[in-house]
Amino acid sequence: MRPNLYYLCGYQSHSTQSPKYAYIQAAFADCMTITPLDYPGSYDAQQCWNAFTQQVDTSQPSVFMGSSLGGFWALHLANHYACPCMLLNPCCRPSLLAKKAHAHAQDAPLFEAFTAWERIQLHPQLARLVFLAKDDAVLDYREAMRDLPHDTEWVIYPSGGHTLWPKLPAIENRSRLFLQEQALI
For 61, list phi and psi in degrees, rounded to 5: -60, 145
Domain count, the chain: 1
Please report, for the domain that includes residue 43, its CATH number.
Answer: 3.40.50.1820
User: What range does the domain containing 140 cover?
Assistant: 4-181
- Per-residue pLDDT, 13: 81
- Inter-residue contact 13 to 78 (CB < 8 Å): no
Q: Where does the chain have alpha helices with state H?
A: 19-28, 45-55, 69-81, 95-99, 108-112, 115-118, 141-147, 168-181
- Per-residue pLDDT, 120: 85
- Per-residue pLDDT, 4: 97
Determine the average pLDDT of the residues in 128-157: 95
pLDDT digits (tens, 9 = 90+) for 47-66: 999 999 999 999 999 999 99
